[in-house]
Structure 1
Amino acid sequence: MLNINSTNPLGQKWEFVDVDKPVKEQDAATRRRVRVGAMRAFRRRQRLQQLDVFQSTRPSDPTRDLESELEQSSSYVSLDQASTTCTDLAQPIEQNDARETLRNLDPAGTKSVGLSQEQHYLLNHFNLLLCHRPFRFPPKTDNRVGALWFHQALEDQLLLEATLHNAAVHLDGLYKRQASTQALRHKANTIRLVNECLKSPDGVSDSIIGAVVLMAWTANYNGNLPEMQLHLDGLARMVRIRGGLKTLGLGGLLHALVTRLDLIAVTLTNSKPRFAALGESGFIDTSASGGVACVLLESMEGVLAPLSVIFKNIRHLLALQDSFASDHGDSDRTILFVEKRSFIFNRLLSTQKSKSPPTEKAHTYLYEPCRIAALIFMEYALARDTPNQNMLRKLCENLQSSFRTTTKTAELQQLWDQDLSSLKVLLWVYYIGGMVATESLDREWFSYRTARCMMSLGFHEWSEVESCLLELLWTDMMHDQACTGLWEQVQQQLRGSLIA
């Protein structure tokens, strides 16, 4: 035991004292602290021994051999180099037991493949935040399709590297920083593995297509449209080699991803879709069912009749989305929803303008604005929580341009004012465009024209406007903050017109 020589208060020192000799300074409190510390150390050693016994008696995992393979590969990142925070992925870890702590807190089961803490963090970020974005799932639904991709990536090294690269680039964008070393390393590994897989005799596999799709989505995060188009051109060649979109695996997951990515690029570039639509089997036959939308559009000398069928299919898709809100659909139903939505997008983007020659009838000039407004409605209503803002901005710009390109705007307005059906369609088009307009001048442009249509129709209340919107395409979910703000601007325009 130790004793402090207190004879000289200015020069105290430690002395070793025989335990058999009584020490006056050792009081009851000191003995109690010593016993508590010794008991804590004993219990800690006992728990560690029990943990070792439990680990030694666990059955062997057949996938555990992958850990040694990943450790030998150049893409493996040790825990001493991994990061614990999302703000600095390169920050070293000082705890020696970090790997064991990670494995004890591993709900996704990533420890079986020997993932580092950095890889574990990136996969969780992808699974929680990024999986659902390409699909724009209906509200209140589980992301079961994202879980399917997540588990597939754990079994394929190429998909794993592409997924980690996608998550790392998204994190760099969130924190507005330059490309991290982790993102560059995973990108290099993805490109290397893609080149190696393309040389194999197996041809173009699902993992290769999935990796290229994720690289294209990564370019979409950065707003790099040329790189995104480059990846899409490569995907188009790969899909042709495979024999079409229907040959892709993962239960339709790759099919939906490729189609959605192509729709974004087509909208931003005003081009035609690279990939064929899903086929007539994906188109909903509603010819036997009635609907006010078809009556209103088909009554306009047949000019808008092609859009009438598409509008009825969009209504059917809205009903399918409402069924998701009441119960949690499985992955098959979710894929079906995404496929039907992609098909209708393709039909709207591929539909050409009416071939009938321009006449004194103003209905011909409503075709293009109505088609663009339908695209805006689909992206806004069917992607309620996460619409693609770049797509909405581009579509809003195209909608305004569709009215400005004609040289007979004044004459057309006079013809439209004399036709009740044209005024209702215009009211719907202007209101849909005004809801997604972000600039104040654009919102004023749409609100002024909406108020003018209301005055021509004799509308004064929101109930009258909503009834008109329901005749074409509208849902209660659209009545949000953007809708309320636009309605307030429209009322201001109406009050100003009455005063004038």
Structure 2
Amino acid sequence: MQFTFVTHNGPRPEKAVLVKSHVMRESQKARKQAKERKNGYMPPKPIYGPNISQSYLNGETSPREPVVAPIVLSPWGQPSSEFVTLEQKVAGPWVGERDEPTINDADAKSFEITDMLFDSMAAYSYFKPDKEDMTIAHNNGIFLTQYNNPLNTTRANWPPPIKGPGSQRGAPNDLPGLSPYLLSQILEMMVHYIDTSWLDSPESPAVRAKTYWTRQAILNQNILLSCSLFYSAHRDVFRNTPSNEYFHLKDLTLRAINESFANPETATSDESIAAVLGVCSSENVKGSPAVAMHLSGLRQMVEMRGGLNNLRGGSEALVELLLLQDILHAVCSNVAPLMLEIRQPTLRKLEMHKQPLCTNSPLQLREDIETINARDGLRREVHVALMDAFEGTEMLYTETIFVKSETAVETLSFQNRRRKIGERLAAIKPLNFDKDYINIKDLVEEAARLAANIHYRAVALRIRHEDPINTPCMRTLSAVLQKIDMRIWKAAKYVYLWILLTGAAASNGHPDERPLFMIQLIRFGLTVGLLDWESFELHIGNFLWLQRELRKSRPMQSLL
């Protein structure tokens, strides 16, 4: 028997005529890919066909296909110094910079979400790119700037992009140490965040608020890294397991931020503020004690820029995002916020126009809370508990603004009313978790009952939320909320906010439950909060006032 030793890849020379050329190429390609996988890097397959770059340059790209622009890539998968602007990469300039909308913008308007619930699977299919999309580099050297998402071309209702001193619009710097694999993980975390943050708002396209940071991350490396750090923390909470990328991303993020601090032109730029804000967001979720120090640093950066009012001109959402992290840290840590003054509460607010959202809650009343009964169909005793919770808040406010001698006549009346509130609340039977079938309505009612118990102890007995007596209710509330899709609360969003605030304040000192409440509050703030900031700020302001009053008061043993 004779053996033929071949020193090169390919078929045996004497049998080459028996192998077709296209089979040879496929075999060589498979061996090349196996070698690349062994070395730790596998370039993804191009998702558009082999001639997409040439057809783009020749102007033959279909208007219905996502438009991509070719760009020279560095070995790390990052754009080289010869970059193109973001406007050149996407389909035309930003809305507002042209007179007539393009075909893409006209088509995209049919995908706007106005007053409807968006199915979670539909949201996932719109926002989740294919795996081939989740990287910057691929075989043909094309720089992908869009997901397979028609909503991406609708920009009329987006907040303005971050602009400020040292802004490098469309000019991301090289990111040393950020491999294509890690970049794909970053984009995966962004997609996971968008998919799990879905909460429709009827008065605006639902994509507006949730993807704000994602759009800014395209423009600046520091924002990309800090957002990725936050997304990583968010994903860790939902999966209940720490990720390997978190500490590496944190190292890269802090290094990039410190480099921007070394440059006087970028030390206090909007990009630097937003990058530090992303770090604070991740630390808020993780419950890190360093968040207080970084929030203090953010306040100093804002003061060096002349205060919050000077930031509002160029970046609409940046101020709200700053205040959001500050006040949520204050709520979950039971401390005063650094950038927001706690004022006297606004418990009743007359609405001159019909509101698209139901803004009632035990923290504020804008219409008859009885009208909610026809909207969500909850039990009568649960609505009574919500009205009693608001009444308790209002009685506490009345006692704090008047001198004791002036309220002496009302003291006995208040005690009797509070005693009756406690009796009605105790009469509501807790949910039996051992029964065979539990529907969503049962879970919603149980969440309201648990929050009402914690709230009653606060407004009637002056017991702080984080008192150990509230721990059983808080832990049960955390477990119940994890079983409820947050879209269920569409009819009573601010009742849901009150439940989250109450549970978050009670979770102070409990590292297992605190991240769950914090991440839900951030999700609420980035959706409903950014789109209805006035109502959102008033509700949280009222809750911060309640916490301040509890810090000044001694708990009561009973109502006798």
Same fold (TM over 0.5): no
Q: Give the TM-score normalised by the residue count of structure 1.
A: 0.44
Q: Which has the larger radius of gyration?
A: 1
**Which structure shows the higher helix fraction?**
1
Q: Give the TM-score normalised by the residue count of structure 2.
A: 0.40
Higher relative contact order (CA 8 A, sep 6+): 2
